Structure 1
Amino acid sequence: MTGMPTLADLVWARGYTDPAWARRHTTSGRELIPSRSVWRGSGTASALPTAPPGALDSLTFTGPHGQPLPLPELLAAAETDALLVMHRGTLVHEQYLHGYEPHVPHFNASAAKSYLGLVAAVLTHDGQLDRGAQVAKYVPELAGTAFGDAQVDHLLHMGTRMSYAGRPYDKALEAQRYFAVLAPQLRPYGYTGPATIREHLATARTTGEPGTEFRYENGNVEALAECLRRITGTTTSALLSEMIWSRIGAEEDAYYLLDADGTEAACGGFSATARDLARFGEMIRCGGAIGDRQIVPEAVATTIASGVPDGYARRVRFPAAPPEAPATLSYHDLWWIPNDPYGSFMASGIHGQRLFISPALDLVIVHYASQIVSPAVPQVPLVQAFLGIGAHLCA
């Protein structure tokens, strides 16, 4: 196809088999269903020191078929919308493609899980959230469900074993059913299932002992978000704004998509600009601080990659990886840990969203994209490229 689809046509593009459809979705969320702003605060935007452009354009990386690709071709293969690279606090590369503009919030998809994980870790550090407590302690109406009977720590490590409404569990199908809960226009004819996120969670039943298996499932994050709302007495949007977004010098409000109850889609309905996400990542890289202001406790920011527990969360596959792929990643507090020599960790979302933070390389990378998720479309090895960029900048 050529050009951008209309918003009216977008609901028919289930599966997003063309990058243009995915791109329309990733930049137009709040035009499709209700949303709530994550306020940037009343202060001025923090500066992003910038180096002269072009320092990375001549680098060559490994492409999706193992072929060498210069950076511009790699970004094209990844259907990149934006790439921002910060090294030692300086923005050394900033690029926008396919008409995407710097001031427009971009869908983060499942990368949003990690941001909620950080909020949960801070509340744990402050003594407000008990990792060992059953979820039903905070959300009594989830008692008797797979999430209510699990511990908070199981949610933070995707450790529940469950099925919805008696169905055999299928990750891809359950993701589609979750989207139908969130967006009525995606529901098939005659749909009689849950109409809100809370109703959806209430249908989950335990199929095995929690904490024994890694199962990447949106419901864990939504149940965690409900715990945090009950503890703090506020919305997810207001909580993220109060704890982080209003304190990092963001240029723009971010936003969450909402269900019919006005509840945020915490597991993936978050959108923000690439520049503001770079500020967020740089704050974490600097031990949770911006200058002399501590935004997140240092003990939280510096243990994202080192705090991986033993057992079921030790080694996992990336969600989009084929079954035969080696299990080389770890998962901690909803962050992915590549287990590289640099203490790196990342937030990651479908269609190629990445916030990559590598403390030992003094590196923060934001990558927004509109990739097609299909076995017929090989995924671009972005993490290896990010590490190559970091090694080059440190040389």
Structure 2
Amino acid sequence: MTGMPTLADLVWARGYTDPAWARRHTTSGRELVPSRSVWRGPGTASALPIAPPGALDGLTFTGPHGQPLTLPELLAAAETDALLVMHRGTVVHEQYLHGYEPHVPHFNASAAKSYLGLVAAVLAHEGQLDRGAQVAKYVPELAGTAFGDAQVDHLLHMGTRMSYAGRPYDKALEAQRYFAVLAPQLRPYGYTGPATIREHLATARATGDPGAEFRYENGNVEALAEVLRRITGTTTSALLSEMIWSRIGAEEDAYYLLDADGTEAACGGFSATTRDLARFGEMIRCGGAIGDRQVVPEPVASTIASGVPDGYSRRVRFPAAPPEAPATLSYHDLWWIPNDPYGSFMASGIHGQRLFISPALDLVIVHYASQIVSPAVPQVPLVKAFLGIGAHLCA
């Protein structure tokens, strides 16, 4: 959107700037709207070896204004709820703040996009999903929409351009409208818009050719999730449980938030504990395996950062970055790639949620937060901090 929002649009701009709203929703999602469990499976939880405390003592980091910060100061600036650092398969630091507890699932926000991207990549590797197929082949109801006329691979790389219901596209406002689809309590008085995710997707019309450029938009992931449901004949929750969660030795069920149709909010409605997300990340770091058990095909797990197709190798800008920030990241199968020397990649959510995996540094970091999103609150350079932690641990 260009210029000031209209008075009618102002209601959609609230939410991200309210710290109480952020923390309430990141830790209590299933108390607010319906949810569906992602079953951990029948087995016992896998062990997480724990090193003696003190591995990160004395480290300093760079703050949002370039100032030096201690670890406690960094975590305070990032509104951190939990930080777990694994190095070479051992937990070297685990910390919980603001009353958040290890057994409580925490909202992952858009980090959930990457988990669905991994599931899609596995199904494509196994021949069940055709990346080059038009989405409407799998979901005929989306024919004529921006997503139905795109290819599956366009969804996996945020390669569509669209507007919803004829509105000028504005990323932040459309994110708020998407949340209103899920949660009636977030709808303004007199709301008459879509009441389900499928209704929301049906209003999207293309404003440019798919694959021409990167545009970060939730609808790509929701359309992809519907494709995977049609292919497998099961829910997103059951699919993630069957393919991933029940096979990593998770301690707790995860869960997805649901819309009025009972459809999972695949683009960001996922919650899991810190330790279980660390188990998931460690499995990926180890080439898709846990011990001698292969959970994800090795060619899929090992090429998240290196398998970016030529057409998608262009650099992109992080969603929360200011417009003048340089485009330094890549994006592949819904994972962010920092293009550092260590082959790192990450899942990232709006309030500071990160699953950071760095194969060359033997590093997995889970960071949960309730960061305020506002131009008045500079974002903490978490990736730089994570790389500093990895370099310190490898020294």
Structure 1 and Structure 2 fold alike (TM over 0.5): yes
CA distance in 2, matches of 1:57, 1:257: 38
CA distance in 2, matches of 1:89, 1:52: 14
Structure 2 CA distance for partners of 1:9 and 1:238, relative to 1, 3 Å: farther
TM-score scaled by length of structure 1 = 0.96
CA contact (8 A) 2:287 2:298 kept: yes
Structure 2 CA distance for partners of 1:197 and 1:86, relative to 1, 3 Å: same
CA distance in 1, matches of 2:57, 2:245: 31
CA contact (8 A) 1:160 1:209 kept: yes
CA distance in 2, matches of 1:85, 1:391: 13
Structure 2 CA distance for partners of 1:368 and 1:2, relative to 1, 3 Å: farther
Structure 2 CA distance for partners of 1:125 and 1:219, relative to 1, 3 Å: same
What does residue 358 of structure 2 align with?
A: 358
**What is the root-mean-square deviation of aligned Cα atoms in Å?**
4.6
CA distance in 2, matches of 1:129, 1:94: 38
Three-state SS of the structure 2 residue aligned to 1:84 is strand
Structure 2 CA distance for partners of 1:307 and 1:185, relative to 1, 3 Å: same
Structure 2 CA distance for partners of 1:260 and 1:123, relative to 1, 3 Å: same
Q: Relative to structure 2, which stretch is displaced further, 309-318 or 70-79?
A: 309-318
Shift of residue 20 of structure 1? 3.3
Give the length in aligned residue pairs: 395
Write out per-residue CA displacement over residues 179-209 of structure 1, whole angstroms, 9 at most, x where no aligned residue: 1111111111111111100000001111111
Structure 2 CA distance for partners of 1:291 and 1:312, relative to 1, 3 Å: closer
Shift of residue 5 of structure 1? 28
Structure 2 CA distance for partners of 1:124 and 1:100, relative to 1, 3 Å: same
Three-state SS of the structure 2 residue aligned to 1:200 is helix
Three-state SS of the structure 1 residue aligned to 2:318 is coil
Write out per-residue CA displacement over residues 193-241 of structure 1, whole angstroms, 9 at most, x where no aligned residue: 1110000000111111100010000000000000000000000000000
Structure 2 CA distance for partners of 1:27 and 1:325, relative to 1, 3 Å: same
Structure 2 CA distance for partners of 1:3 and 1:389, relative to 1, 3 Å: farther
Q: Which runs of 5+ in 1 are unaligned?
A: none
Structure 2 CA distance for partners of 1:184 and 1:249, relative to 1, 3 Å: same
Write out per-residue CA displacement over residues 38-92 of structure 1, whole angstroms, 9 at most, x where no aligned residue: 0000100000000011210310000111000011110111010000000000000
Shift of residue 252 of structure 1? 0.2
Structure 2 CA distance for partners of 1:368 and 1:6, relative to 1, 3 Å: farther
CA distance in 1, matches of 2:347, 2:314: 17
CA contact (8 A) 1:163 1:169 kept: yes
CA distance in 2, matches of 1:192, 1:124: 38
CA distance in 2, matches of 1:3, 1:293: 54
Structure 2 CA distance for partners of 1:18 and 1:202, relative to 1, 3 Å: closer
Shift of residue 15 of structure 1? 1.5
Structure 2 CA distance for partners of 1:82 and 1:147, relative to 1, 3 Å: same
CA distance in 2, matches of 1:151, 1:344: 27
Structure 2 CA distance for partners of 1:10 and 1:370, relative to 1, 3 Å: farther
Three-state SS of the structure 2 residue aligned to 1:307 is coil
Shift of residue 312 of structure 1? 4.6
Structure 2 CA distance for partners of 1:276 and 1:4, relative to 1, 3 Å: farther
Three-state SS of the structure 2 residue aligned to 1:64 is coil
Structure 2 CA distance for partners of 1:47 and 1:213, relative to 1, 3 Å: same
What does residue 127 of structure 1 align with?
A: 127
Shift of residue 24 of structure 1? 1.3
Shift of residue 6 of structure 1? 31
CA distance in 2, matches of 1:245, 1:10: 39
Three-state SS of the structure 2 residue aligned to 1:267 is coil
Shift of residue 19 of structure 1? 2.8
Q: Relative to structure 2, which stretch is displaced further, 102-111 or 166-175?
A: 166-175
Shift of residue 17 of structure 1? 3.2
Structure 2 CA distance for partners of 1:316 and 1:250, relative to 1, 3 Å: same
Shift of residue 300 of structure 1? 0.2
Three-state SS of the structure 2 residue aligned to 1:11 is helix
CA contact (8 A) 1:5 1:20 kept: no
Structure 2 CA distance for partners of 1:44 and 1:174, relative to 1, 3 Å: same
CA contact (8 A) 2:133 2:151 kept: yes
Shift of residue 314 of structure 1? 2.0
TM-score scaled by length of structure 2 = 0.96
CA contact (8 A) 2:12 2:176 kept: no
Q: Which runs of 5+ in 2 are unaligned?
A: none
What does residue 109 of structure 1 align with?
A: 109
